[in-house]
């Protein structure tokens, strides 16, 4: 990119200008101070000022371009990681806490931005200065330069050895910082529960424990860094002391001019300063290496759900839903069978209710229909074709999902409602709100559809969020509507309105509903009764009450008015 080329040129120019200052000092001393010539002194100073001007301009350009590159790289990494993770299967986020991932995307990339925008530039500049300074040392005074060359191995070895320890500690430090963010996020996201149980003190103690662990790791890293800098400075300035002693003898004997000695000492300090700067930023580079490892782990993660190749679904009249011998266990609990040889078929336009005790596999069935997970065995067909042959975007576009815990995102109400269909018309949007019995409270809002929605929709009641979630699903006009206890938080009037909407939609779309209310269940054409992941009964309400003991107990207890 142009910025990288410009930064490289500026880096070379500034390093060259800095090294040229040594020759400027030699000329000023030998041609001006020693000879006493005013003309030579003036010419030397003009050249000296010109070199400084080049150094100043080059430094400004280098700082700007390198900082720009750091910010750009950081932003690109954030985008790449987010784009990769947003397509990962939901099981990935059970094994990797979202709050920890958030820490990696923010703190780790910020660290990389700092290192790339500052430390890398400093390191490259000082490497150039070190190499150039060593060359000029040898050219200026070959005999004295042997002292510097002899000291190089003793300086490099501590940088390499201690640097490895700093890298390991840096990785641990970033992990512990992620723990800090996770602990704080969990407490703040569930602040009502924390305060309802008066758990603030315990949460603070737990947070303090995590912070202290992070601090201990950070202090170990800081001690290693301080040790490294101390060792390097001692060795470097010890070598300079020997140089000064040997240089004094060389000037006294007449074998070296004062200007040459001054230039030699200048380059010696350049080399010493370069080594010192490299030793300081080396730990930053190791920290960046640790952060990069964490980000690479995220980018290297492969989704467990592979996309199919077919993008066209069967025409609506042929979009039957067939589940054949479906068995599934969650990867985190492979010994527990959530679904076991489940089989049923649903015709287009049919409404089917799914009932059963908690843990029967009802919500898991919805997850498998949308391919958030793939079954261990068995098959799901949509329109006669296995769903794993469809592209995920096409398959999931056929479903409209309303979860029990309705989720709203930050943004405006309009953005939330048009989440699955951004180009929907205002007429269709308002029609969906009316169907969901949400138009009245939406119109009552001062800003209407442009009302900002806080995180998780905290400004709306549970019933309002549920109605908005139903409207969002209806706006997308899906082929199959999945309702996971979608009326649980509604009052009687709103529930009646939603039941009427569902009744009107029967025949227009397939409706599959997880229900615990008698009114919703009786509305269905058929009822599937699940127990321990198995289908134990199928039929209408009246038939199941008479023929199935589990359903009869549900009807008596859970479905009671």
Task: Find the farthest-apart pair of alpha carbons in the chain and give their distance in angstroms, rounded.
Answer: 120
Using an 8 Å Cβ cutoff, are 355 and 516 in contact? yes
- Higher pLDDT: 423 or 233? It is 423
- The HSE-up count of residue 497 (CA atoms within 13 Å, CB side) is 18
Asked if pLDDT for residue 189 goes beyond 90, the answer is no
Which top CATH class is 310-398+525-561? Answer: alpha beta
Q: Which residue has the higher pLDDT, 434 or 237?
A: 434
Q: What is the pLDDT of residue 94?
A: 76
Q: How far is CA 15 from the centre of its chain?
A: 37
pLDDT number for residue 88: 84
The mean pLDDT of 119-142, rounded to a whole number, is 77
Segment 519-548 shows an average pLDDT of 86
Task: Spell 101-139 as b/e; 16+ CB within 10 A means b.
Answer: bebbbebbbebbbbbbbbbbbbbbbbbbbbebbbebbbe
Strand pairing class (510-514; 339-346)? unpaired
Residues above pLDDT 90, as percent of the chain: 8
Residue pair 127/281 in contact by the 8 Å Cβ criterion? no
Tell me the pTM.
0.71
Q: Which is more confidently placed, 284 or 476?
A: 476
Average pLDDT on 525-539 reads: 89
Note whether 234 and 154 are within 8 A (CB).
Answer: no
| Distance of alpha carbon 333 from alpha carbon 396, whole angstroms | 26
* pLDDT tens-place string over residues 296-315: 888 888 888 888 887 788 78
CA dihedral (419, 424, 425, 429) positive or negative: negative
Task: In the chain, list all ranges with CATH 3.40.50.300.
Answer: 310-398+525-561
Mean pLDDT (whole number) for 108-132: 77
Task: In whole angstroms, give the CA distance from residue 328 to residue 341.
Answer: 9
Alpha-carbon distance of 335 to 373, in angstroms, equals: 17
Q: What is the mean pLDDT of the segment spanning 18-30?
A: 64
Strand partners, 537: 529
Calculate mean pLDDT across residues 25-37.
56
pLDDT of residue 374 exceeding 50: yes
Which tokens go with 381?
């067909």
CA distance 71 to 65: 10
Q: What is the mean pLDDT of residues 443-448?
A: 87
146-155: which pairs have CB atoms within 8 A and are 24 or more residues apart? 147/239, 147/242, 147/243, 147/246, 148/239, 148/243, 148/268, 148/271, 150/239, 151/235, 151/236, 151/238, 151/239, 154/235, 155/232, 155/235, 155/236, 155/275, 155/279
d(CA 184, CA 211): 10
Q: What is the torsion angle, in degrees rounded to the nearest 10, for the CA atoms of residue 521, residue 522, residue 526 and residue 532? A: 30
Per-residue pLDDT, 249: 66
**CB distance 315 to 396 below 8 Å:** no
**Confidence check: pLDDT of 533 > 80:** yes
The Cα 26–Cα 136 span in angstroms is 12
CA distance 343 to 350: 17
Please, what is the average pLDDT of the chain?
79
pLDDT at 345 over 90: yes
CATH architecture of the domain formed by 2-300: Up-down Bundle (1.20)
Provide the CA 205 distance to its chain's centre, in angstroms.
Answer: 27
Domain(s) of CATH 1.20.1560.10: residues in the chain: 2-300
| C-beta neighbour count of 542 within 10 angstroms | 10
Whether the CB-CB separation of 112 and 291 falls below 8 Å is answered with yes
Per residue in 222-278, pLDDT (tens digit) is: 777 777 777 777 776 777 677 667 766 666 666 666 666 677 777 777 777 777 677
The confidence score (pLDDT) of residue 43 equals 64
What number is the average pLDDT over the span 144-151?
68
Given 485, 495, 503, 542, the catalytic residue = 485
Is the pLDDT at 324 greater than 90? The verdict is yes
Report residue 369's pLDDT band, with 50, 70 and 90 as the boundaries: very high
Q: Is 485 a catalytic residue?
A: yes
Flag the least confident range among 65-79, 83-97, 172-186, 504-518: 172-186
Alpha-carbon gap, residue 395 to 48, rounded angstroms: 72
- Rg over CA atoms, the chain: 35
| Whether residue 380 has pLDDT greater than 90 | yes
Average pLDDT over residues 58-79: 81
Lowest mean pLDDT among 15-29, 113-127, 357-371, 482-496: 15-29
Which letter does DSSP use for residue 405 in this model?
S
Residue pair 367/375 in contact (Cβ under 8 Å)? The answer is no
- 479-531 pLDDT, tens per residue? 899 988 877 666 777 777 778 778 888 888 899 998 877 777 888 889 999 98
Q: Is residue 305 a contact partner of residue 375, using CB atoms and an 8 Å limit?
A: no
How high is the pLDDT of residue 561? 46
Residue 559, token pair as written in the block = 């479905």
Determine the pLDDT at residue 261: 67
């Amino acid at each position: 990119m142009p910025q990288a080329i410009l930064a490289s040129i500026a880096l070379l120019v500034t390093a060259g200008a800095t090294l040229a200052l040594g020759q400027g000092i030699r000329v000023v001393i030998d041609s001006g101070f020693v000879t006493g010539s005013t003309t030579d002194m003036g010419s030397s100073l003009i050249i000296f000022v010109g070199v400084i001007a080049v150094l100043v301009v080059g430094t400004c350009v280098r700082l700007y371009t390198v900082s720009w590159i750091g910010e750009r790289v950081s932003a690109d990494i954030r985008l790449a990681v987010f784009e990769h993770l947003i397509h990962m299967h939901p099981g990935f986020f059970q094994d990797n806490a979202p709050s920890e991932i958030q820490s990696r995307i923010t703190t780790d990339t910020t660290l990389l931005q700092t290192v790339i925008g500052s430390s890398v530039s400093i390191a490259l500049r000082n490497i150039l200065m070190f190499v150039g300074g060593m060359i000029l040392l040898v050219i200026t005074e070959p005999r004295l330069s042997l002292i510097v060359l002899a000291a190089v191995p003793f300086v490099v070895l501590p940088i390499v050895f201690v640097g490895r320890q700093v890298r390991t500690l840096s990785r641990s430090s970033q992990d512990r910082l992620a723990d800090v963010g996770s602990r704080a996020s969990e407490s703040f996201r569930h602040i009502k529960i924390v305060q309802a149980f008066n758990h603030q003190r315990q949460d603070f103690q737990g947070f303090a424990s995590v912070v202290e662990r992070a601090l201990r790791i950070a202090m170990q890293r800081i001690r290693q860094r301080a040790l490294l800098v101390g060792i390097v400075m001692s060795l470097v300035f010890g070598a300079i002391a020997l140089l000064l002693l040997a240089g004094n003898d060389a000037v006294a004997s007449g074998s070296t001019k004062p200007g040459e000695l001054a230039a030699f000492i200048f380059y010696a300090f350049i080399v010493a300063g370069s080594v010192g700067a490299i030793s300081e930023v080396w730990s930053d580079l190791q920290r960046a290496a640790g952060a990069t490892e964490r980000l690479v782990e995220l980018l290297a993660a492969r989704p467990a759900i592979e996309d199919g190749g077919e993008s066209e679904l069967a025409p609506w009249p042929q979009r039957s839903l067939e589940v054949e011998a479906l068995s599934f266990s969650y990867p985190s609990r492979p010994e527990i069978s959530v679904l076991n040889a489940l089989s049923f078929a649903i015709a287009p336009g049919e409404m089917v209710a799914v009932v059963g005790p908690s843990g029967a596999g009802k919500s898991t069935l919805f997850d498998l229909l949308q391919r958030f997970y793939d079954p261990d065995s068995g098959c799901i067909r949509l329109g006669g074709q296995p769903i794993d042959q469809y592209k995920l975007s096409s398959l999931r576009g056929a479903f409209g999902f309303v979860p029990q815990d309705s989720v709203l995102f930050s943004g405006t109400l309009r953005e939330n409602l048009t989440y699955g269909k951004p180009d929907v018309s205002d007429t269709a949007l308002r029609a969906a709100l009316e169907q969901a019995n949400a138009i009245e409270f939406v119109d009552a809002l001062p800003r209407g559809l442009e009302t900002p929605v806080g995180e998780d929709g905290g400004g709306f009641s549970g019933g309002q969020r549920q109605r908005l979630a139903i409207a969002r699903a209806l706006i997308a006009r899906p082929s199959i509507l999945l309702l996971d206890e979608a009326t649980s938080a509604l009052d009687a009037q709103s529930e009646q309105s939603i039941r009427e909407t569902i009744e009107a939609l029967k025949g227009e779309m397939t409706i599959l509903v997880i229900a615990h209310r008698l009114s919703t269940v009786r509305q269905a054409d058929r009822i599937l009764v699940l127990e321990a992941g198995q289908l134990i009964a199928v039929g209408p309400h009246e038939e199941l009450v008479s023929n199935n003991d589990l359903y009869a107990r549900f009807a008596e207890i859970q479905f009671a008015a």
